[in-house]
Amino acid sequence: MQRVRYLKSGWQLLKSSCEGAAKQANTQSSASRCYSHASSSFGLLFDIDGVLVRGKTPIPAAKQCFKNLVDHSGKYKVPVVFVTNAGNCMRQTKAEHLSHLLEVEVSPDQVMLSHSPLRMFTQFHKMRVLVSGQGPVEEVAHNLGFQDVVTIDVLREAYPVLDVVDHNRRPKDVVPPTKGLRPIDAVVLFGEPIRWETNLQLIVDVLLTGGNPGSTWSSAHYPHIPVLACNMDLLWMAEAWNPRFGHGMFLVCLESLYKKVTGYKLKYEALIGKPSVVTYNYAELLIRQQAERLGWNTPVKRVYAIGDNPMADIYGANLYNRYLQSSRHTKAQMQAQSAGGSIDPSAVDDTPKMTSAELGGASRVVERDLPEGCSSILVCTGVYSKDQQELLSDPTKTVTEQRIFHGHRDFRFDPSLTQPSFVVHDVKEAVELVFKQEGWPLQ
């Protein structure tokens, strides 16, 4: 219950922040109001790698696509948010990078990184946290609200005899004295690190010593201190012909090592980033903020999520759509009961219950008008390629236990969630499809 209370408080703070920013923006500009269609309001969620870029190279269709999404003054015609599982930089940096590549203005509040929802986990912000990843991880952690941050490098320097896989990094001759640190209270995994062996060793040391890596391993430290992980992507698409290892692969290694050493299952306090529901709830708040800045007075009714990875983008969008339908059903039943009516037995919600890992804290968000649904659109310019794999025509009948599951260990193997609402060649076709579905002129 304490975690739920803190998460609810986090959603309140985020909602207030979004509403304040939107009101301020509305006083500055109303140039895009003419694009608001009261009868049809929607927002777009774009994945980045494999949809807009591959590595540092823009996908050709992306530039033309975004030229169509802005008016003559450069204002967006519809709410647009970029949702990526990357997390090795600040939002400002990613926004500047996208602005340069797409040749349209992208603001930081249009960018959602895998770790962005950690702003809501305020119960950890005053704890001493060990952070793993690459890039400005300490700056990122402080920006998210964490006040007492320890990096892997700082931990390694404090305990110089722990990192010994690389012989060249072992202490030479005289072993330096151990400086020691105050105990670690929680571990935050932002993304794949550069030296996996160092990070894996030190994280396991911290978990098996209750946050005191200078002491002896003990099974008494189970359940271990909290672990929060961002970005579950097993694979992602860069310039190479084949997908590359993502942070999900690092998590597989960490989980396997911990289980092998202790016999226990590594537990996560939260799994954040696509495909978790909490990520899409956060993204929807940013969509709402963008809609208010456009001067829209009606709630966004539909969200379209465009991605290249069936196990992250499509699974996540479909899982969020399932969450939306279940929430609408629950709200309708509660309204019927409050009005003195009875529950219609034929209207029982038969959607599968979501696990706590899939929800990621989204089950008790602040009540608000949620979208009616979320449609998933799969492009063929990234992880998924029609030349390499075919989507199953009927996953409920043709999938067997032998089919490979690339999702995270704590997410259920539900093949129906990997089936996109639409399949198109590239992001330009995806946007054209959406505007046609909504009856909007794109030009």
- pLDDT at position 358 is 79
pTM: 0.84
Report the C-alpha gap between 250 and 192 in whole angstroms: 6
User: Would you say how long the chain is, in residues?
Assistant: 443
- pLDDT at position 27 is 44
Tell me the percentage of the chain whose pLDDT exceeds 70. Answer: 81
Which of 425, 405, 424 is CA-nearest to residue 415? Answer: 405
On the question of pLDDT at 399 being above 60, the answer is no
Report the C-alpha gap between 66 and 102 in whole angstroms: 7
pLDDT digit string, tens, across residues 359-393: 776 554 445 689 999 999 999 999 888 776 655 55
Which of residues 363 and 64 earns the better pLDDT score? 64
- pLDDT at position 35 is 45
- pLDDT at position 131 is 98
pLDDT digit string, tens, across residues 317-336: 999 999 999 888 887 777 66
CB atoms within 10 A of CB 242: 9
pLDDT bin (cut points 50, 70, 90) of residue 62 is very high
pLDDT (average), residues 246-268 = 97
